[in-house]
């Protein structure tokens, strides 16, 4: 159990890094696609994707942070534990 | 059969399931007919020749799925935790049905100009909003009525509705397409002119029946109890997303379950269809009937896996579905590609047919030449290629004639494709069958509707909904590999599988009454 919790915590670093990597990849692809086809349609499509993925990438970083801090070592089994 | 016969069903549970499932099924039906009829809708409301109309089309396609759906989850989730499950999902049903019916009534772009695409956009956004609010309500409502030890089984009925909604939409479209005239081609022509409205208009009847059933239902017993005790959440959004204890579970639900479930769902039921039609070039109707048969055979497995999760826990069934998808997608799609590939197959020259039709274009400066080539191959596959070319008065042709090839498959390769799609839908049933029970058990009653709706719709609407788009995008960037589009769902499913394996517990939280 101790070992498992240690793995969960160390893996948190991966999720923290994965958020910005994912966003960077998205921004780079968006820039390439927009430069290849510079129309309002393309701008809207990629604008929507980036808008929606910024909070998701932030969420992944936050998830990794929680994991690193040991928040997932034990999952709550009732609302009392959540509150 | 022991799986289904352990205990007597609680009083009224089938009414609860029927009321919730029928409404949710109709919502999915409404959402899908727009997607399935997208090319016809585009020609009626969003002419490509007009940039503003094309822009509205892009907004309708992308905004409805990716922004409005999760937003609907927040709006209606909050309402459901404040005002009750029953009233909220009654409202989402009326909004969805009303919007769908109204789309069927809007005159085309040629009659009312920009008003047509603008109205369609607004109604499509309302559809996305309503869908975002529906599922969480229905799943919560059933789960809160179900006995704890059978929660997976009873909520799995709700899980069949998304697939059956797709099945119903494909079925209604195909039947309508062929029943408008005794002559097949005339019937298809009528469908494209006005018959496409029938599936939209039909929605009002279905919604009417469903509203009637839902109006007779009572509020969820757990929500009623909270209300009596005066412990209903004052601000469920704040409690769900600013309270660390809840937020960490919302994030876990998204990254450890719904994200992977979403891509498996959309790959098995939508990308498979897109791949057959655009990469394998299988005939329009055969593509749809292949998906219909596969869905029909796989649907009972939602119940089987949902029920099984009551015994062995939700986690490993869902993650096994994801793992199988990761391992099998490339071999399955490789088979699909090779079954329909005609490279190296001999053509039966004696059966070649070619037909030319020249139609004058208004104004008389050019005419449209349509060439139809029909070919038969040794393995029984037939092809039909229609090439449209513009012939100008001065004798030159269009720079790039438009060509469309479709393959008609005989029995053996056709049924092989049905089985290959069936296996993909089977993975869907593994990840999707137990997930409602899993999500319900993760959150307390007073913020359940809000908390479970958001990860569900981000996982499905955003990660899943993007699957066909990203897959097509990847195939345009790397055109040499017909299977390159699969790397997106595989990568997302791998990350979700790792997170789920590490962080999700397999314990069943039987007590959800708090």
Q: What is the pLDDT of residues B147-189, one digit of tens each?
A: 888 889 999 998 888 888 888 888 899 899 989 988 888 888 8
Strands B382-392 and B402-408 turn out to be antiparallel
Mutate to test the interface with A, among B46, B60, B62, B450 (most CBs of A within 10 A): B62
* pLDDT greater than 60 at residue B6: no
At A19-76, the pLDDT tens digits run 999 999 989 988 988 888 777 777 877 888 888 889 999 999 999 999 999 999 887 7
pLDDT at B501: 95
- B354 with B227, same domain? no
Distance from CA of A23 to the nearest CA of B (A): 14
**Which structure tokens are listed for B7?**
């205990």
Asked if A80 has any chain B CB less than 8 Å from its own CB, the reply is yes
Tell me which chain A residues have a C-beta less than 8 angstroms from the C-beta of B252: 63, 72, 75
pLDDT at B344: 82
Quick check: is B453 in a domain? no
* pLDDT greater than 70 at residue B9: no
Asked if A59 has any chain B CB less than 8 Å from its own CB, the reply is yes
Distance CA A63, CA B345 (A): 53
**Which structure tokens are listed for B324?**
């199988």
**Range with the poorest average pLDDT among B92-96, B138-142, B414-418, B432-436:** B138-142
pLDDT at B4: 47
**Beta carbons within 8 Å of B115's beta carbon, 6+ residues apart:** none
Quick check: is B498 in a domain? no
Quick check: is B306 in a domain? no
pLDDT at B61: 65
Give percent helix, percent strand, percent coil of chain A, each to the nearest 5: 80, 0, 20
Of B232, B258, B288, the position where a domain reaches its end is B232
This prediction's pTM: 0.85
Query: Any idea what the CATH number is for the domain that residue B372 is in?
Result: 3.10.450
At B78-91, the pLDDT tens digits run 788 887 777 887 88
Quick check: is B45 in a domain? yes
**Neighbouring-strand partners of residue B374:** B353, B384
Query: Any idea what the CATH number is for the domain that residue B66 is in?
Result: 1.20.1250.20
For A77, the closest chain B residue by CA position comes to B509
Number of domains in chain B: 2
Asked if A11 has any chain B CB less than 8 Å from its own CB, the reply is yes
* pLDDT greater than 90 at residue B139: no
Range of the domain at B110: 11-232
Quick check: is B256 in a domain? no
Distance CA B153, CA B228 (A): 29
* pLDDT greater than 60 at residue B2: no
Distance of CA A54 to the CA centre of its chain: 8
Most confident residue range from B243-252, B381-390, B487-496: B487-496
- B217 with B353, same domain? no
Q: What is the mean pLDDT of residues B292-302?
A: 92
State percent of chain A over pLDDT 90: 48
Verify whether the Cβ–Cβ distance A71 to B244 is below 8 Å.
Answer: yes
Distance CA B275, CA B484 (A): 11
Verify whether the Cβ–Cβ distance B255 to A76 is below 8 Å.
Answer: no
Tell me which chain A residues have a C-beta less than 8 angstroms from the C-beta of B495: 18
Angstrom distances, CA of residue B433 to CA of B209, B310, B436: 26, 11, 7
* pLDDT greater than 60 at residue B291: yes
- CA torsion through residues B500, B504, B510, B511, sign: negative
pLDDT bracket for residue B3 (50, 70, 90): very low
For A67, the closest chain B residue by CA position comes to B503
Partner residue opposite B255 with nearest CB, options A40, A52, A63: A63
pLDDT bracket for residue B359 (50, 70, 90): confident
**Which structure tokens are listed for B48?**
């490509």
Distance CA B217, CA B448 (A): 20
For the question of an ipTM over 0.90, the answer is yes
Between residues B107 and B40, the one the model is more confident about: B107
Quick check: is B262 in a domain? no
pLDDT at B78: 79
* pLDDT greater than 80 at residue B244: yes
CB B249 within 8 A of CB B451: yes
pLDDT at B363: 65
* pLDDT greater than 50 at residue B509: yes
Tell me which chain A residues have a C-beta less than 8 angstroms from the C-beta of B254: 59
Quick check: is B275 in a domain? no
- B361 with B216, same domain? no
Asked if A79 has any chain B CB less than 8 Å from its own CB, the reply is yes
- B228 with B354, same domain? no
* pLDDT greater than 90 at residue B306: yes
Distance from CA of A79 to the nearest CA of B (A): 5
Partner residue opposite A7 with nearest CB, options B58, B243, B502: B502
pLDDT bracket for residue B5 (50, 70, 90): very low
Verify whether the Cβ–Cβ distance A77 to B503 is below 8 Å.
Answer: no
Quick check: is B30 in a domain? yes
Verify whether the Cβ–Cβ distance B251 to A72 is below 8 Å.
Answer: no
Verify whether the Cβ–Cβ distance B55 to A44 is below 8 Å.
Answer: yes
- B226 with B355, same domain? no
**Range with the poorest average pLDDT among B153-157, B228-232, B349-353, B491-495:** B228-232
Averaged pLDDT of chain B: 84
Distance CA B339, CA B126 (A): 41
Between residues B64 and B470, the one the model is more confident about: B470
pLDDT at B254: 95
Verify whether the Cβ–Cβ distance B67 to A48 is below 8 Å.
Answer: yes
pLDDT at B115: 87
* pLDDT greater than 80 at residue B272: yes
Q: What is the mean pLDDT of residues B222-233?
A: 73
């Amino acid at each position: 159990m101790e070992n498992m919790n240690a793995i969960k915590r160390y893996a948190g670093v991966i999720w923290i890094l994965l958020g910005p990597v994912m966003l960077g990849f998205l921004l780079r692809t968006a820039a390439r696609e927009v430069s290849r086809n510079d129309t309002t349609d393309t701008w809207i499509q990629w604008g929507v994707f980036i808008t929606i993925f910024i909070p998701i990438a932030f969420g992944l970083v936050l998830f990794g942070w929680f994991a690193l801090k040991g928040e997932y070592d034990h999952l709550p089994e009732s609302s009392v534990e959540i509150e | 059969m022991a799986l289904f016969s352990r205990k007597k069903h609680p009083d009224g549970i089938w009414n609860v399931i029927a009321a919730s499932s029928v409404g949710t099924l109709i919502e999915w039906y409404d959402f899908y007919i727009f997607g399935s009829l997208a090319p016809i809708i585009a020609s009626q409301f969003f002419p490509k020749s007009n940039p503003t109309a094309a822009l509205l089309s892009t907004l309708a396609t992308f905004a409805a799925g990716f922004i409005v759906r999760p937003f609907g989850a927040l709006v209606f989730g909050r309402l459901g935790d404040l005002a009750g499950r029953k009233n909220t999902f009654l409202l989402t049903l009326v909004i969805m049905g009303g919007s769908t019916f109204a789309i069927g009534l809007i005159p085309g772009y040629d009659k009312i100009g920009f008003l047509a695409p603008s109205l369609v956009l607004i109604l499509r956004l309302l559809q996305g909003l309503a869908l975002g609010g529906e599922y969480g309500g229905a799943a919560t409502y059933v789960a809160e009525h179900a006995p704890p030890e059978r929660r997976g089984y009873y909520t799995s009925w709700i899980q069949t509705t998304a697939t059956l909604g797709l099945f119903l939409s494909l079925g209604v479209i195909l039947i309508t397409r062929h029943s408008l005239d005794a002559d097949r081609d005339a019937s298809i022509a009528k469908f494209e002119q006005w018959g496409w409205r029938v599936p939209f208009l039909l929605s009002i009847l279905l919604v009417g029946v469903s509203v009637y059933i839902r109006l007779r239902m009572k509020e969820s017993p757990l929500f009623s109890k909270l209300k009596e005790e005066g412990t209903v959440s004052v601000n469920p959004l704040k409690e769900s997303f600013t309270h660390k204890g809840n937020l960490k579970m919302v994030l876990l639900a998204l990254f450890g379950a719904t994200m992977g479930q979403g891509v498996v769902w959309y790959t098995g039921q939508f990308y498979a269809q897109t791949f057959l039609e655009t990469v394998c070039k299988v005939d329009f109707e055969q593509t749809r009937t292949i998906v219909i048969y596969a869905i029909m055979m796989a649907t009972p497995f939602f119940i089987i896996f949902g029920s099984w999760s009551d015994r062995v826990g939700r986690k490993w069934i869902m993650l096994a579905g994801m793992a199988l998808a990761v391992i099998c997608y490339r071999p399955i799609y490789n088979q699909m590609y090779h079954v329909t590939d005609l490279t190296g197959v001999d053509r039966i020259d004696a059966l070649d047919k070619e037909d030319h039709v020249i139609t004058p274009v208004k104004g008389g400066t050019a005419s449209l030449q349509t060439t139809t080539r029909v070919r038969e191959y040794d393995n029984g596959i037939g092809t039909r290629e229609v090439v449209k070319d513009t012939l100008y008065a001065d004798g030159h042709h269009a720079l790039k004639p438009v060509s469309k090839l479709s393959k008609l498959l005989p029995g053996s390769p056709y049924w092989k494709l049905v089985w290959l799609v069936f296996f993909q839908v089977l993975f869907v049933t593994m990840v999707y069958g137990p997930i409602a029970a899993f999500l319900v058990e993760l959150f307390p009653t007073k913020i359940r509707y809000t908390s479970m709706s958001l990860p569900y719709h981000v996982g499905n609407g955003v990660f899943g909904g993007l699957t066909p788009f990203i897959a097509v995008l990847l195939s345009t960037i790397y055109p040499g590999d017909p299977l390159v589009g699969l790397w997106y769902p595989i990568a997302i499913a791998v990350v979700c599988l790792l997170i789920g394996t590490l962080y999700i517990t397999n314990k069943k939280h039987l007590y959800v009454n708090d």
